[in-house]
């Protein structure tokens, strides 16, 4: 599995010259605390050679990449964009472009929420009808994105900053392949009005494009939530 981490948003760089990812919680930088707590990292299924970071090409981000990222994850890829994109769903395309295998699982990790998995997200892809998995937790706070299920428990809708259920996204999304993600994103671009938030394309609504392909989206509930953005 390839893990792509978008770090190119306007809130990433701080006015004091630091970046959000290097703020420390319990003595550990936020980025490391998030990425290295994931079950796939702890089990060795993902290593730093499977990581791709997408950043904006600026002095602050370049400094962070050379001084910190290169030290923490020496085998990871780094991609720099000359300007802000129209949202994380587009930013991560720079990382998707580096994926070497057409059938490789993709994980998009916003790396700002800590959690514990009771069930392996990767194991859900043994069902070939599953196109994507979104990790979720109980909430009704409007700051999050949401998945909605039907009476049978199937995910039928995803929305950004709109409380359509009590199942919020934990900011980690897995897609069966690059092709499935790209087709899903194309669907969202074609149906822009229903899927943008403040004229930006976020990752969660792209799950609707997976459903439009006739594939399943699983919502996997995780526990022990800590939103490190709020610490």
The whole-angstrom distance between residue 159's C-alpha and the CA centroid of its chain comes to 15
Contacts of 115 (CB under 8 A, 6+ apart): 37, 135, 137, 170, 222, 223, 224, 225, 226
CATH 3.90.550.10 is right for the domain spanning 2-230: yes
Domain ranges (residues) in the chain: 2-230
What value does the mean pLDDT of the chain take? 95
Q: How far apart are CA 195 and CA 124, in angstroms?
A: 26
**How many other β-carbons are positioned within 10 Å of the β-carbon of residue 217?**
24
Could you report the per-residue pLDDT of 169-204, keeping only the tens digit for each?
999 999 999 999 999 999 999 999 999 999 999 999
Question: How confident is residue 230, by pLDDT bands cut at 50, 70 and 90?
Answer: low
pLDDT attached to residue 18: 86
Quick one: pLDDT band at residue 110, thresholds 50, 70, 90?
A: very high
How far is C-alpha 2 from the geometric centre of its chain's CA atoms?
A: 12
Residue 122, pLDDT > 60, answer yes
pLDDT score, position 231: 56
């Amino acid at each position: 599995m390839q893990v792509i981490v978008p770090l190119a948003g306007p809130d990433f760089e701080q006015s004091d010259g630091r970046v959000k990812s290097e703020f420390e919680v319990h003595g550990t930088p936020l980025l490391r605390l998030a990425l290295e707590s994931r079950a796939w990292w702890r089990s060795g299924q993902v290593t730093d050679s499977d990581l791709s970071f997408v950043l904006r090409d600026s002095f602050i981000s370049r400094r962070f990449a050379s001084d910190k990222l290169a030290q923490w994850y020496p085998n990871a890829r780094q991609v720099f964009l000359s300007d802000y994109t129209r949202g994380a769903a587009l930013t991560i395309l720079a990382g998707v472009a580096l994926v070497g295998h057409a059938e490789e699982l993709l994980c998009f990790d916003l790396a700002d929420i800590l959690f514990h998995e009771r069930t392996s997200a990767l194991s859900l892809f043994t069902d070939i009808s599953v196109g994507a998995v979104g990790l979720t937790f109980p909430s009704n706070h409007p700051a999050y994105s949401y998945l909605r299920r039907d009476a049978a428990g199937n995910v039928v809708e995803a929305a950004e900053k709109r409380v359509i259920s009590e199942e919020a996204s934990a900011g980690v999304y897995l897609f069966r392949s690059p092709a499935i993600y790209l087709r899903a994103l194309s669907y969202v671009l074609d149906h822009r009005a229903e899927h943008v938030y403040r004229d930006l394309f976020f990752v969660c609504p792209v799950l609707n494009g997976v459903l439009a392909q006739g594939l399943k989206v699983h919502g996997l509930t995780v526990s022990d939530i800590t939103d490190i953005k709020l610490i």
